[in-house]
Amino acid sequence: MTQTFDEPSPSPALLLLGERRDPLSERGVDCPGDLPAASDPDLVARARAAKEALGDRVFILGHHYQRDEVIQFADVTGDSFKLARDAAGRPDAEFIVFCGVHFMAESADILTSDAQAVVLPDMAAGCSMADMANINQVDDAWAQLEEAGFASRTVPVTYMNSTAAIKAFCGEHGGVVCTSSNAEVAVRWAFDQVGGVESDGKVFFFPDQHLGRNTAVLQLGLDLDHCIVWDPRKPLGGNTPEAIESARMILWKGHCSVHGRFRKENVDAIREKVPGINVLVHPECAHDVVTAADYVGSTEYIITTLEAAEPGSSWVIGTELNLVRRLANAHPDKDVHFLEDTVCFCSTMNRIDLPHLVWALESLLAGEVPNRITVDTETQRLAKIALDRMLALPALHPAKD
Ligand code: SF4
């Protein structure tokens, strides 16, 4: 069977970036060097030559959501947690070039030695979700919970997709980091620190409200009523003390701007169009999308599920478009669809392109370390406490359907 994947047209949002319309959200748009022209026909050859000349001194990590033009040069591919661990497994590499986004490069810096330099080819490659929880807001929220008498029975849990400062906050306050693969076991662990899921203890989950809600309701069996949202712009996050008292999960008001675009109507529409289709989505999607799906799991889970699928079966996937397109191309024997009918690239992930990669590699070859990501020592120490707690959890829970 010929695969039926259709490429959506480019997103206008991509075109807006870099035009200085919102300088605060365009960290590092100015590249501190001579960026090769995107039209340079020698870009692939230049990247290959620079990588070969650097040899074992450089280790290139490529997140699953990266462009094809970049991913072809990755030594390993994976999700954010796997890549950070892969980086830690290469202590001999002088340079770690992280083709992903800012918080991932921070995690790699935390898990690698000070002698290794972690390089982000474009400093504008941030994550809108991670940026929705800044440390000042979180400190303020915690102070309010302390004053209202809740903090002593609340454990903070942060998704890997958060800044190093938020991970450090969790390390300092008895909390833990989680991934989309192990959120269930991490949240259970957190509840166990305050008397268990049935107690009056609480988990404060950052920064993705959808992953927190989906984990609480679908995996821990809590009610939707047990989940409240904390809006950092409002006193007590927009909640009454009574609502906080009866809540089990306090969900930071953050979301992924990519996965947040999928709607239950998209699921209904594709089911009507392709009867019998399997719906496979990421847990960063909204709760009604996840409950309407057949299979839910991390990026790695999505990849392995499609790999294991029967030839001739039909699938619609709700995650970032670069990955879905690659999966469709890799499985021409399966009928692969994208869940949204408009584009769903992660625009910040797409900041890393071949010109930036060439520039980073050639700079390293010339003896300069461009765009080095460093996390200060104290933040590293506290963040590592939260990361180590995650690594000590009983076992990474397999992604679930
Ligand atoms: S896909 Fe979502 S969570 Fe991942 S980097 Fe992009 S905005 Fe952040």
Decide if pLDDT at 398 tops 60.
no
Closest among 212, 267, 257 to 65, alpha carbons compared: 257
Decide if pLDDT at 23 tops 50.
no
Can you tell me the distance from the alpha carbon of 390 to that of 157, in angstroms, rounded to the nearest whole number? Answer: 10
Decide if pLDDT at 227 tops 90.
yes
Atom of ligand 1 nearest to the CA of 101: 5
The residue whose CA has the least distance to atom 2 of ligand 1 is 256
Structure confidence at residue 283 (pLDDT)? 97
pTM for the complete prediction?
0.89
Mutate to test the pocket of ligand 1, among 14, 127, 179, 302 (most ligand atoms within 8 A of CB): 127
Structure confidence at residue 302 (pLDDT)? 96
Decide if pLDDT at 184 tops 90.
yes
Decide if pLDDT at 305 tops 70.
yes
Tell me if 349 CB under 6 Å of ligand 1: yes
Q: How far is the CA of 84 from the centre of ligand 1 (A)?
A: 16
Q: How far is the CA of 200 from the centre of ligand 1 (A)?
A: 33
Structure confidence at residue 22 (pLDDT)? 45
Q: What is the DSSP letter of 9?
A: P
| Model pLDDT for residues 134-182, shown as the tens digit of each residue | 999 999 999 999 999 999 999 999 999 999 999 999 999 999 999 998 9
Structure confidence at residue 308 (pLDDT)? 97
Q: What is the mean pLDDT of the chain?
A: 90
Closest among 293, 207, 188 to 250, alpha carbons compared: 207
Phi–psi pair at 157, nearest 5 degrees? -130, 130
Structure confidence at residue 6 (pLDDT)? 59
Q: How far is the CA of 196 from the centre of ligand 1 (A)?
A: 31
Decide if pLDDT at 395 tops 80.
no
Closest among 348, 371, 350 to 359, alpha carbons compared: 371
Structure confidence at residue 208 (pLDDT)? 98
Q: Is residue 281 within 8 Å of residue 261, measured between CB atoms?
A: no
Q: How far is the CA of 258 from the centre of ligand 1 (A)?
A: 6
286: pLDDT confidence band, cut at 50, 70 and 90? very high
Decide if pLDDT at 20 tops 50.
no
Q: Which helix (H) or strand (E) holds 356?
A: helix 354-365
Structure confidence at residue 201 (pLDDT)? 96
Pull the structure tokens for residue 394. 């009983």
Alpha helix segments (H runs only) across 274-349: 287-292, 299-308, 321-330
Ordered structural domains, the chain, with CATH: 43-126+348-375 (3.40.50.10800), 130-255 (3.40.50.10800), 259-338 (3.40.50.10800)
Q: How far is the CA of 223 from the centre of ligand 1 (A)?
A: 27
The residue whose CA has the least distance to atom 5 of ligand 1 is 127
Closest among 252, 312, 249, 225 to 277, alpha carbons compared: 312
| Model pLDDT for residues 41-98, shown as the tens digit of each residue | 999 999 999 999 999 999 999 999 999 999 999 999 998 888 888 988 999 999 999 9
